[in-house]
Amino acid sequence: MRILVIGSSNTDMVVKANHLPVPGETILGGKFIMNAGGKGANQAVAAARLGGIVTFIAKTGNDIFGNQALQMFEKEGINTSYMLKDPNQPSGVALITVDKNGENCIVVAPGANGTLSIGDIEKFTDAIRETNIILLQLETPVDTVEYIAKLGFGLGKKVVLNPAPAQFLNEKLLQALYLITPNQTEAEMLSGIKITTPGNEHIDGLKIDGLASVERAAAALHAKGVQNIVITLGSSGAYVFSAEYKGLVPGRKVTPVDTTAAGDTFSGALVVALSEGKTIKEAVEFANLAASISVTRMGAQSSIPFRKELY
């Protein structure tokens, strides 16, 4: 089955530091890395490396960052026939700080990503007709995301949304989704329900103290029209709410180095598994495994594993 990823492409500029700076604080960092990134691009690369047949639609600037990104996508075996260049905007960039525990803070300047329009997508409806699964995020204009989701839904495609960065979404968009993959913060915003989990996120503790609120949040999203919900919970794994399975799918315990692309690796892996006919629970197990490998490495796309590394 074919996978179509539509979203952002950025260049990530990463600095490793002892801790994340607070407002007004200047700190001396360590290693600097410049990597290809952007949630859409990360997810397209993850899907391709993990065995998917992937087409990617994004808009870059007509600059060195955009040209390098295009060459990289082609090396990954991604179909770039529908890539666009904006002559008036630079390619997107992200400034990322990673602390000694692998946690990060990110500021994104979207550049050309912010000009991916409905008119652009209208030129590429054949790409949507030819695919089976569409994977979207929220680093491009939300009205464009809504248009794609509704078009895909109308054509009988499985539309998967990773709702990041977090923002409120209307129910017409939610009703067009086959599956949504929020993290805890995003699930709280979209559902209006506070999710309570223990600070150490032990699985047993989560079952006792947190799963009730996680399930309520998932049920609220289902009531808004989303068919299937997967709420990611960091090292604890992911909670699945679907007709075929409800419950926690535990994560794999590792020592994190950098969590920058963990969610994107998860999303890319998830759609690959679904494209291969796996159940949602099996797909989440596959995605958890891929994401657990990515957090043990620095960078965004540089941290994404290949399929042969999963077994």
Read off the pLDDT of each residue in 258-270 and give the average, rounded to a whole number: 91
In a domain, 295, yes or no: yes
Q: What is the pLDDT of residues 30-58, one digit of tens each?
A: 989 888 889 999 999 999 999 999 999 99
Establish if 294 belongs to a structural domain: yes
Q: Quick one: 216 exposed, middle or buried, by C-beta within 10 A (0-12, 13-18, 19+)?
A: middle
Question: pTM, whole model, 2 decimals?
Answer: 0.89
Give the residue numbers spanning the domain of 171: 2-7+37-91+112-310
The residues annotated as belonging to the active site are 264
Provide the number of structural domains found in the chain. 1
- Per-residue pLDDT tens for 125-137? 999 999 999 999 9
Residue 13 lies in a domain: no
pLDDT of residue 142: 97
Task: Among 11-25, 92-106, 203-217, name the one with the lowest average pLDDT.
Answer: 203-217
pLDDT given for residue 122 in this prediction: 96
The answer, yes or no, to whether residue 311 has pLDDT greater than 80, is: no
Q: Cα–Cα distance between 284 and 270 in angstroms, integer?
A: 6
- Residue 104 covered by a domain: no
Distance in angstroms (rounded) separating the CA atoms of residues 118 and 145: 8
Which pLDDT band, with edges at 50, 70 and 90, does 201 fall under? very low
Q: Is position 278 within any domain?
A: yes
Is 59 a member of any domain? yes
The CATH number covering residue 52 comes to 3.40.1190.20
At residue 166, does pLDDT exceed 60?
yes
Q: How far is CA 288 from the centre of its chain?
A: 13
Question: What share of the chain in percent tops pLDDT 70?
Answer: 95
pLDDT at residue 208 above 50?
A: no
Is the residue at 101 inside a domain? no
Predicted local confidence at residue 222, as pLDDT: 97
The token duo for 167 is 């923002």
pLDDT single digits (tens) 14-26: 899 999 999 999 9
Q: How confident is the model at residue 197 (pLDDT cuts 50, 70, 90)?
A: low
Residue 94 has pLDDT above 90, yes or no: no
233, part of any domain: yes
Mean pLDDT for 224-245 is: 94
Residue 89 pLDDT > 70: yes
Cβ(286)–Cβ(273) under 8 Å? Answer: yes
* pLDDT at residue number 261: 84
Cα–Cα distance, 91 to 9 (Å, whole number) = 8
**Whether the predicted pLDDT of 203 surpasses 80:** no
> Is residue 75 within 8 Å of 85, Cβ to Cβ?
no
